[in-house]
Amino acid sequence: MTLLSRRSVLAAAAAGAAGLTTGALSAFSAFAAAPQASTQWPSAYRYKVGDIEVTAISDGARTMPLSDTFVRNEPRDKVNEALRAAYLPENQVTIPFTVLLVNTGSKLYLIDSGNGPAQGTVGLLGGTLTALGIDPKSIDAVVISHFHGDHINGLLNAQGTPTYPNAQVLVPEAEWAFWMDDGQMGRAPDGLKGAFQNVRRVFTPFAGKVDKYGWDKEVMPGLTSVGTPGHTPGHTSFQLASGNGRLFVQSDVTNIPALFLRNPTWQVMFDMDGAKAQETRRKVYDMVSAERMLVAGYHFPFPAALYVEKDGARFDSVPAAWSPVL
């Protein structure tokens, strides 16, 4: 057996380049005349859960410097070690956003609404829906998991009016009770007051038209709410079921899986109750790994669906097979 080394690979590449004749280079240059693309294709991926069609749609991703408090209960060097182990750049984090479009055959609904109108690298949901030929007026419902801005801001368009004018808007009753409580807003630390104000901004145009749901309820055909508090007081996940197919929509039970799935005791800075979020995370991943259930995560790498395997006190992600056909 011949073992390749870095030196032999580089030598072979140099030899290949030297062997190209002028005529060959001219032939290749004809194929390189077109300018390189400067934008990404609209990102959507469809898969089936029983008879239900799910379309994962990227709302983009945001890259930010790694702060000392991104993981609240671990030092920065340990976080960089985990990034390096996952072949991710150190000293920065990239957080993806993926919205699910669910088609039951009788209902078309979104789970969460994304970051809102397109801005830089986020807010791409609307453009991809257009590319898919889906009219916003055809959306029957938007089911919200919790009230952080990257999940609710897409309910409004750039004009501040409802993006999906015919859609029923469903929200967790525990989440509504917390964020709409003036006392909670008054007691909130300054860093959280903006989130309270944003919730009021987003839902004002829907006055009297928001339906609140409890946990362990079928909120849409095939979709059952699951209480997973900690990230926010009323944070909600979902189980989508059809026939023998099941999908656990974990919302924000964890953030970037390379960090928080592998290290379930780590607390991301966005968790409002870190200890509760940690407890919830352990329960969820114990359950989905034992039941070998496909998991969709709002901040998982696109197309944001994977399996979870238990590894002692930790968990590993197992990629779901990509299917070119439905």
pLDDT at 1: 46
Q: What's the confidence (pLDDT) of residue 37?
A: 86
Q: What is the mean pLDDT of the chain?
A: 92
Strands laid side by side in the 314-319 sheet: 218-220, 223-227, 236-242, 245-251, 294-297, 305-311, 314-319
Burial of 17 (0-12, 13-18, 19+ CB in 10 A): exposed
CA distance 317 to 320: 9
Q: Which residues pair with 227 in a beta bridge?
A: 236
Quick one: average pLDDT of 119-129? 96
At 9, the pLDDT band (50, 70, 90 cuts) reads very low
What integer is the mean pLDDT of 192-210? 95
* Nearest to 163, CA basis, from 131, 187, 193, 129: 129
172 pairs with which residues across the strands? Answer: 213
> Taking CA 141 as the corner, what is the angle to CA 297 and CA 119, rounded to the nearest 5 degrees?
60
Q: In sequence order, which residues have a C-beta less than 8 Å from that of residue 7 and are 6 or more positions away?
A: none
The pLDDT, as a whole number, for residue 33 is 75
Phi, then psi, of 93 in degrees rounded to 5? -135, 140
Structure tokens at 1: 């057996």
Tokens of 136: 């916003």
Share of the chain above pLDDT 70, in %: 90
Question: How does DSSP classify residue 260?
Answer: H
Give the pLDDT score at 40: 87
| % residues pLDDT > 90 (the chain) | 86
Token pair recorded at residue 297: 């995560």
The yes-or-no verdict on residue 48 having pLDDT over 70 is yes
Contact between 264 and 250 (Cβ < 8 Å): no
State the CB neighbour count (10 A cutoff) for residue 127.
14
User: Can you give the pLDDT at residue 34?
Assistant: 82
pLDDT score, position 197? 97
* CA atoms lying within 13 Å on the CB side of residue 66: 21
Task: Name the pTM for this structure.
Answer: 0.90
With bands split at pLDDT 50, 70 and 90, how would you rate the model's confidence at 257? very high
Mean pLDDT, rounded, for 269-277: 96
Domain 42-319, CATH 3.40.1360.10 — does that match? no
Res 166 pLDDT > 90: yes
Say yes or no to pLDDT of 17 above 80: no
* Spatial distance between the Cα atoms of 268 and 62, rounded to a whole number of angstroms: 16
- Residue 286 has a pLDDT of 97
Residue 164 confidence class, pLDDT cut points 50, 70, 90:
very high
Q: What pLDDT does 20 receive?
A: 47
> Which one has a higher pLDDT value, 268 or 5?
268
pLDDT of residue 14 exceeding 60: no
pLDDT, one tens digit per residue, over 70-121 is 999 999 999 999 999 999 999 999 999 999 999 999 999 999 999 999 999 9
* Cα–Cα distance measured from residue 108 to residue 83, given in angstroms and rounded to the nearest whole number: 37
